[in-house]
Structure 1
Amino acid sequence: MENIKNIIFDYGNVIFTIDFKRAQEAFSNLGIKDVTAFFAHKAHNSLFDDFETAAISPAEFRAGIRQAAENNDLTDEEIDAAWNSLLIGTPPQNHDVLRQVKQKYRTFLLSNNNEIHYNWITAYLQTTFELENLDNYFEKAYFSQHMKLRKPHTAIFEQVICENSLNPAETLFIDDSPQHIEGARKAGLHTLLMTEPAERLGEFLKQHGII
């Protein structure tokens, strides 16, 4: 891709596979009604936005789930299991793909995340790949709960641009969510909407001339 020197990757369903339907089913099993309005790929209850920006704690998030399910007897473990059911894992070849991309571009990660998922993913990377973190694959990894900002708001993109002295005209953002793509465009970034499953990341990047 001509003139691109920097790439900012989303994590979920770009590098790491997630399944919203599994989480919807798990939340439904907890007793939450109209679960597709409560939690979905393109829209969800404000509880999730608040958790992803650390506006509420894990305890407050779990309390919100209990309220939505109208069941105060749900345990922390039951709630965490339902919430973490979203997380599938990283296709092993994607780490090699990221290494390849990093040889040619400055690369960054920008993920809407939260403390419960972050802790699960950290443990998963350690046990499955013997990785302490993702530092070997990116110049820097950004997570919404640490920044107290989330995509698609322009401010989160502008912070990454500013902190790393990136030229938006030379920077590509890759995400699977159209609303996040729109936020990146407002920040002046080039964008690619990920239209393949995460296990096809390498093929997707080749198709668009990135590797």
Structure 2
Amino acid sequence: MEKIDKNIKNIIFDYGNVIFTIDFKKTKKAFEDLGINNVETFFSHKGHNSLFDDFETGSISSEEFRAGIRKISGKNELTDKQIDDTWNSLLIGVPKGNHELLLKLKDKYRIFLLSNINEIHLKYINNYLKTEFGLDGNDGFFEKIYYSHLVGKRKPNKEIFEQVLQENNLKKEETLFIDDSPQHLKTATDMGINTYLMTYPDHIQKLFKDI
């Protein structure tokens, strides 16, 4: 997609590596620095242990997630802080200009946030947004936000896309979904939603440079 189709009226944004920069390699290394040697078997960008999926759908609490990390890593001595700091190490921040762009897009499109996220990451991000930008979360940038652990559904499952479309009366052909995960985009594409794969060094400011 060289530029945004003129028929697009709605944009659904993923958060990680679309608006907020994340680095999975940092978390992999942080786990390894704790002495966990089987990181690749339970955590990666393309697929991971069901523990992470359960946490992203709110099926388990932060306490249960931490207990799960201790179990699959074989490191019962890990503290809550060690696990949280390691888990949050992939969260880098919002590149300069992204928030300003979202506000401009909000004047032209109906925009939504659809993110696979969890309680520990959201707490960190909200604190970051408050500290760095004086913001109380992301609510000011979007018409509606869908955080997977709060709605009980996650990408790439069809149900989460159906919920966003139905609750907001969005037409598939007028909607663009931007994500950095091909498996998430496939579901949306199969449903008839327009999609755009965000891959480094691409970024939303480049995509919307004419706005």
TM-score by length of 1: 0.94
Deviates more, 1:23-32 or 1:53-62: 23-32
1:86 aligns with 2:86: no
Residue 206 (structure 2) pairs with residue 203 (structure 1): yes
- The equivalent of 1:5 in structure 2 is 9
For residue 111 of structure 2, give the secondary structure of its aligned residue in structure 1. strand
- CA–CA distance in structure 1, aligned partners of residues 127 and 34 of structure 2: 25
Equivalent residue number for residue 169 of structure 2: 165
Identity among equivalent positions (%) equals: 58
Structure 2 distance, partners of 1:138, 1:147, is 16
| Structure 2: stretches of 5+ with no match in the other structure | none
Match of 2:105 among 97, 101, 112: 101
CA distance in 2, matches of 1:35, 1:155: 30
Q: Structure 1 residue aligned with 2:117, among 110, 113, 118? A: 113
- Secondary structure of the 2:98 match is helix
8 A Cα contact 2:36 2:75, kept in partner: no
**Cα contact 2:38–2:73 (8 A) shared by 1:** no
Task: Give the distance between the partners of 2:169 and 2:204, measured in 1 at CA.
Answer: 27
CA drift at 1:197:
4.1
Secondary structure of the 1:202 match is helix
Normalization by structure 2: what TM-score?
Answer: 0.94
Counterpart check, 1:142 vs 2:146: yes
* Distance in 1 (alpha carbons) for counterparts of 2:119 and 2:187: 23
1:95: how far off? 0.3
Task: Supply the AA of the counterpart residue of 2:53.
Answer: D
Kindly report the root-mean-square deviation, in angstroms, between the aligned alpha carbons of the 2 structures. Answer: 1.3
Would you say 1:63 and 2:67 are equivalent positions?
A: yes
| Alpha-carbon distance in 2 for matches of 1:137, 1:114 | 20
Tell me which amino acid in the other structure corresponds to 2:82: E
| TM-superposed deviation, 1:141 | 1.1
Cα distance in 1 for partners of 2:206, 2:141 equals 18
Give the superposition deviation at 1:186: 2.5
- Measured in 1, the distance between the counterparts of 2:200 and 2:89 equals 21
Following superposition, which runs of at least 4 residues in structure 1 exceed 4 angstroms of deviation? none
1:29 correspondence with 2:33: yes
Match of 2:190 in 1: 186
Q: Which of the numbers 68, 73, 77 marks the counterpart of 2:77?
A: 73
Gaps of 5+ in 1: none
Matched position secondary structure for 1:108: strand
> 1:196 deviation in Å?
3.3
Distance 2:171 2:107 in 1: 19
The alpha carbon displacement at 1:2 in A equals: 2.3
SS at match of 1:43: coil
